[in-house]
Every structure is written in structure tokens, then in C-alpha cells.
Amino acid sequence: MIKERVKMEVIGLEIPLISGNEEYTLAELISKYPLEENDIIVIAETVVSKSEKNVILKDTIKPSNEAIELSKKLGKEPEVVQVILDESNETVRLGPNFIVTETKHGFVCANSGVDESNTSKGIKPLPKNPDKSANEIRKGIEEITGKKVGVIINDSMGRPFRKGSCGVAIGVSGVCGLWDRKGEKDLFGRELKTTEVGIADELAATASVVMGQSDEGIPLVIIRNAPVPFKEGTGKELIRKKEEDVFR
Amino acid sequence: MIKERVKMEVIGLEIPLISGNEEYTLAELISKYPLEENDIIVIAETVVSKSEKNVILKDTIKPSNEAIELSKKLGKEPEVVQVILDESNETVRLGPNFIVTETKHGFVCANSGVDESNTSKGIKPLPKNPDKSANEIRKGIEEITGKKVGVIINDSMGRPFRKGSCGVAIGVSGVCGLWDRKGEKDLFGRELKTTEVGIADELAATASVVMGQSDEGIPLVIIRNAPVPFKEGTGKELIRKKEEDVFR
């Protein structure tokens, strides 16, 4: 009457803290884990940014007048606001203590995804090119292990209409980003009602359940036996163009 | 160097087609599976709606002039548009072939979540009170099995800014909906940067990876060993109030 059809595993891994001064690459580090063919590796963006030394030293930032004005409204340090502005194409909305921007990558998110909890060392933007980072990590892993894998770089973002952050895929390689199911039929031979699935976002959210907060020490998650297409995908294909969005 | 910290299982289950005329309840059906303490059971909303006979016969619907006018713009049947309007508090945006509404539950989504692929039998809205449905199913399961579980009713919804649908939690019982982590500290003793996590949405998305499309025959997913709080939650707590939303 009830039959098991799929059994997917979601494995949360602790790794050493990444500073950017490691003598190994992320691909080398991840390959130490006994990976299997078609594993999907989800990595918290913060780890990727740090490993790429994408951290801006606070005393090198000269806040503009615009950043200083905005910083008062938002209750943020002018240096942080300057980085948020530098990382953005445009401001989409101004909230009580956040700015929603479109980032240079095209993501619409709060504060350009810039990590506000800056350490003494600096302020951390999102990785510069998450699809490229995901691709490099994947190629590295495949070279070392000889196994075909997928790589997703995820981040937690807030959303309109719904409270709470949710994991999304900002970089994708080796696995489908947006799953186009147009033309497929359901059990009754009818066209599927949902034709485009944000599958990499759902996988990113899956990993986020296990990561909790990446700073808890589980910034790396392996998703094994996921029933998803392993055709080439990107994080970019998940971005809705401004002119196709009724909320822009 | 790399250490396994969490191992979560996501089990997709095939169940018989639900028509609403079953001699068993959903709780009785689900309890046939060997559940474990703290399993989270995610159920596709379509199954819940059908089991509650929440299907509107097409020939009982009299479309209003408003519905008829709108149906031409949207390329939908007037009866479907009438149900969409009946299910909504207000129209939020009008798209080329969809209406974004706020449903009577408070969800902002396309077409009030009404299933357009209506069969000969009728048109299927979302469950009337998904939190109540989730709670009844949970209580039923706990009574039969003697095990404490969580229940989430999920649906696939589109999103502003991002392409592709993504699973969200429309009903929640026995597990946290919105996870408030304010005051918690990270590895460095700093306050967590993300303080509210939409954990039930992330769990709903996790299940959606395995469900694919619920009509594929896997409308039921068990999430085992999820590192999440089992305190009482609701789907309602995930809804952002209109006046607190910069996109309304």
C-alpha cells in the first residue's frame, strides 16, 4: 500500500575553518571525503568567499557621501554600506534597516548579500562569480576523484511575502539549475502543472536544513541519490529578468 | 580533517491515488509506514485537498462578469478564474497569464494556489485550513503509532526575482515553522547573522526534491534525523504581514 521509491541522504560535514591561507584548495579538501558518483556537494558561500580571499579590509574603504547618508538611515557602518553599494547594480527597495539591491550578479537580495558581521579583518561580499567558482571546484573534484559530481554554492536569503531566510543556489555546476519539465506528462497523461522547477534552489534549501548557520561549523553538505537531472546547469538560469518580473 | 556531523534521510513514498472516498484517513494510511520518533512527514497539498473532498464541481460554478472579463485576459476558463477570485482576499499583481493574489489563508501566490489542470470532476483549491489539516494528521499518527512526529503540508510556488517553483510549507504541526535564532552565537561568539530561518519552508523544499511533481506518484516524504527544533509551529508564522513587507 505504501512503497519506498527514493531514499536520498543529506550528510552534513564539518571542515576546518577557512581563512584563505590554506595550502590546499577547496576541491582538494572536499575530495578527502569518500564521494560517490552523482553526489551533489553544497558549499556555503561564506567558505567560498573566504577561500578566494574575497574580503575587503575595512580601513581601505572610503565611504562616499551617499554611503554616509544611507548608513544613518540603516544603522549600519558607512564602510559596510559602501561595500553594499559597490556590489550592487541598483537599489530595489529601502527597508527600515536593510537595502534590497540587485547585485552585480543579478541577485535581488538584502544588503547585496554582504556579510555585515564583519570581523576585525574585513567585510565579506558574495563570491565574485559563483558559477565560475562552482565549476572550478567541480572540475577539481572530478580530476582528483575520477567521479562525476554536482556542485552548488548556497546562501541564505530573505524573501518577499514570507518570513525567515531560506537557502538558495547562487552558483551551480554539473547539475540542473532550473529544471524545465514542459511537455512532460503526469500519471493521468496531462501536461505537468508546474513546468519549471527551481531544483538547485530546492537542493540549496535542503543543504541549509543541515547547515543551519554555516558558522556553526557545517558549511559543507553532500546530497546523495537525489532524483534530479545531472545535465549542465548554472545559478544564473535561476535569475528572473527584471522585465519578466511583475514585482520589479 | 572532514568529519560527518549530521546524516539526514529523505524517503519518498508512493501511496495509492487519493479520491476522497477512501475508507481510511490519511493518518491511518501514513501510519502503515514504519515511522520513527521525530520523523517529519511532508505531504503534498493536492493529496490533502482531495482527501478532504475540497474539489469544486465545474458545473456548479457561475462565473461573475469580473471572472469572465479576467478569463479573456488570462487565457483561463471563467470557472477557474471564479474559483481563484473566491479563494482570494485581494489581487496583488496581474501577470500575462496568471494573477498573483493574497489567498484567504494569507499566502501570496499565483492563481490563489488553485489547481488549473482541473479534471472532469472539478477544480481543486488549496486545503481550507492547512495548519488544522496538518495538526489533525499529526494527532492521528501519534495516536496510532505512539510516536511524536512533525507534519508539513507543502506546495510548489513561484517566486519574485527567481525562476522556477520551489516547495514551501503551507501547513505545519509538531515542528518549528519559523525558527527564531536571535541571541544565539556563532563559533566566534558573535550573534548569528541570520536570526530568523524559514525552516519549515526549507524542509518543504527538501521534500519537493524527492516528490518532483506530486502527480508522479510520490506525494509523501519522510524526513528522518533533521537537526531542527520540534517545538510547536504553524504555517501561518511564515507569512509576512502586508504592512511589514517592502514588496506589498
User: What number is the average pLDDT over the span A34-39?
Assistant: 98
Cβ–Cβ gap A217/B187 under 8 Å: yes
CA-based nearest residue to B137, from B44, B34, B239, B8: B44
Question: According to the model, what pLDDT value does residue A185 have?
Answer: 75
Cβ–Cβ gap B10/A13 under 8 Å: no
A contact test, residue of B100, B194, B228 with most A CBs within 10 A: B194
Cell numbers given for A104: 552585480
What is the three-class DSSP state of B209?
Answer: helix
Residue B212 marked in a binding site: yes
User: What number is the average pLDDT over the span B128-144?
Assistant: 98
Residues 6+ apart with CB under 8 A from A64: A82, A85
| Residue A221, strand partner residues | A12, A42
Instruction: Return the amino acid letter for B205.
Output: A
Query: A42 in contact with B at a CB cutoff of 8 Å?
Result: no
What is the three-class DSSP state of B86?
Answer: helix
Considering Cα of B106, then B110, then B111, then B116, what sign does the dihedral take? negative
Residues of A in contact with B12 (CB under 8 A): 4-8, 227
Task: Give the model confidence (pLDDT) of B18-49 as tens digits.
Answer: 989 999 999 999 999 999 999 999 999 999 99
**How does residue A181 score in pLDDT terms, banded at 50, 70 and 90?**
confident
Q: Which of residues 112-131 of B touch A (CB under 8 A)?
A: 115-117, 119
The yes-or-no verdict on residue A122 having pLDDT over 90 is no
Residue A111 marked in a binding site: no
Instruction: Cite the residue boundaries of each domain of chain A with CATH code 3.90.1660.10.
Output: 58-113
**CATH entry, A9-54+127-240, from 3.40.640.10, 3.30.360.10, 3.40.50.300, 3.30.1330.100:** 3.30.1330.100
**How does residue A116 score in pLDDT terms, banded at 50, 70 and 90?**
confident
B contact test, residue of A159, A180, A184, A188 with most B CBs within 10 A: A159
- Pick B124 or A121 by higher pLDDT: B124
Instruction: Return the amino acid letter for A44.
Output: A
CA-based nearest residue to B162, from A139, A119, A225, A168: A168
Q: How far is CA A204 from CA A115, A123, A168, A171, B216, in A?
A: 19, 24, 5, 10, 22
Residue B220 marked in a binding site: no
Residue A117 marked in a binding site: no
Q: How many CB atoms lie within 10 A of CB B160?
A: 17
User: What number is the average pLDDT over the span B188-193?
Assistant: 70
Q: What angle do CA B150, B155, B157 make, to 5 degrees?
A: 135
Q: Which of residues 64-93 of B touch A (CB under 8 A)?
A: 93
Mean pLDDT, rounded, of chain B = 93
Instruction: Classify strands B3-14 and B196-197 as parallel, antiparallel or unpaired.
Output: unpaired
| Residue A217, strand partner residues | none
**Of A2, A93, A165, which has the smallest distance from its Cβ to B198's Cβ?**
A165
Query: A207 in contact with B at a CB cutoff of 8 Å?
Result: no
ipTM, two decimals, is: 0.96
What is the Cα–Cα distance from A111 to A24, expressed in whole angstroms?
31
Question: How many secondary structure helices (H) and strands (E) does chain A include?
Answer: 6, 10
In total, chain B counts a number of residues equal to 248
Instruction: Cite the residue boundaries of each domain of chain A with CATH code 3.30.1330.100.
Output: 9-54+127-240
Residue matched to cell numbers 590554506: A22
B contact test, residue of A7, A161, A176, A196 with most B CBs within 10 A: A161
The yes-or-no verdict on residue B197 having pLDDT over 80 is yes
What is the three-class DSSP state of B41?
Answer: strand
Q: What angle do CA A224, A169, B102 make, to 5 degrees?
A: 115
Question: According to the model, what pLDDT value does residue B185 have?
Answer: 75
A217, A18 in Cβ contact below 8 A? Answer: no
**Of B166, B191, B215, which has the smallest distance from its Cβ to A186's Cβ?**
B215
- Pick B118 or B151 by higher pLDDT: B151
Question: According to the model, what pLDDT value does residue B181 have?
Answer: 87
What is the Cα–Cα distance from B173 to B168, expressed in whole angstroms?
14
Residue B18 marked in a binding site: yes
Give me the CATH topology for the region B58-113.
CofE-like fold (3.90.1660)
Question: According to the model, what pLDDT value does residue B118 have?
Answer: 52
**How does residue A167 score in pLDDT terms, banded at 50, 70 and 90?**
very high
Residues of B in contact with A220 (CB under 8 A): 2
What is the three-class DSSP state of A113?
Answer: helix
Count CB pairs under 8 A between chains A and B: 278
Tell the burial category of B124 from Cβ atoms under 10 Å away from its Cβ (0-12, 13-18, 19+): buried
Residue B17 marked in a binding site: yes
Q: How far is CA A189 from CA B46, B119, B189, in A?
A: 17, 11, 55
User: What number is the average pLDDT over the span B179-188?
Assistant: 80
Cell numbers given for A110: 538584502
Nearest-by-CA chain A residue for B209: A202
CA-based nearest residue to B237, from B169, B149, B177, B155: B177
Question: According to the model, what pLDDT value does residue A119 have?
Answer: 60
**How does residue B189 score in pLDDT terms, banded at 50, 70 and 90?**
confident
Out of A113-127, A184-198, B112-126, least confident range: A184-198
Instruction: Cite the residue boundaries of each domain of chain B with CATH code 3.30.1330.100.
Output: 9-54+127-239
- Pick A166 or A191 by higher pLDDT: A166
CATH architecture, domain defined by B9-54+127-239: 2-Layer Sandwich (3.30)
The yes-or-no verdict on residue B206 having pLDDT over 80 is yes
CA-based nearest residue to B49, from B79, B75, B18, B78: B18
Instruction: Report the share of chain B in percent with pLDDT over 70.
Output: 94
User: What number is the average pLDDT over the span A72-83?
Assistant: 94
Question: According to the model, what pLDDT value does residue B117 have?
Answer: 66
Instruction: Report the share of chain A in percent with pLDDT over 70.
Output: 94
Q: How far is CA A248 from CA A55, A127, A164, A244, B92, in A?
A: 30, 24, 21, 8, 13
Instruction: Return the amino acid letter for A171.
Output: G
Cβ–Cβ gap B8/A12 under 8 Å: yes
Residues of B in contact with A31 (CB under 8 A): none
